[in-house]
Amino acid sequence: MNHKKIALGTVALIGIFVAVALLMTSTVPMKAHDVSLIKKTIKITMDEFSFTVDGVKGGAVNLKVGDTVTLIFENKGKVLHDAHFGTDADLKGRFFKKNIVAPFDMLVLEANERAQLTFTPTDPGTFELACFQPAHYEAGMKVVFNVTK
């Protein structure tokens, strides 16, 4: 008889612990597919007349609205490079007419310098990262950023 009482008491105690554990975990707010929790780090290497994105020369960057993105830039070239983000390139003025990461305007890196920029895209669309040093953009020093919902 005593063994049955102990066994029933143990089962009841385990049941109480399980119920409390379930109750505690069910009160924690869970957000399925919460894009604000997505974090990406992308390495962008600059060299003469090209960007390399995570090891792919001229590779595109695909993001979603709400992604938190850190871009790590490294100028491995021998000359100064810059990075602008936007659309509608103005090659006479050497800038984009529409800047997508305002108030950030541009990043300028001397040879062998590094920098990083963290941002969260808020609008879908196709944008560019470009170097507007003379003849660099025209030679193809640009990367497409595709931002989807």
**How much is the pLDDT for 135?**
95
CB 92 within 8 A of CB 134: no
Which of 32-36, 44-48, 90-94, 141-145 has the least mean pLDDT? 32-36
Give the C-alpha distances (Å, rounded to integers) separating 28 from 9, 17, 47, 106.
29, 17, 48, 41
**How much is the pLDDT for 106?**
83
For 26, which DSSP code? H
**Predicted TM-score of the model (pTM):** 0.70
C-alpha 139/C-alpha 78 separation (Å) is 16
Length of the chain: 149
Per residue in 71-130, pLDDT (tens digit) is: 999 999 999 999 998 999 999 999 888 877 766 678 999 999 999 999 888 889 999 999
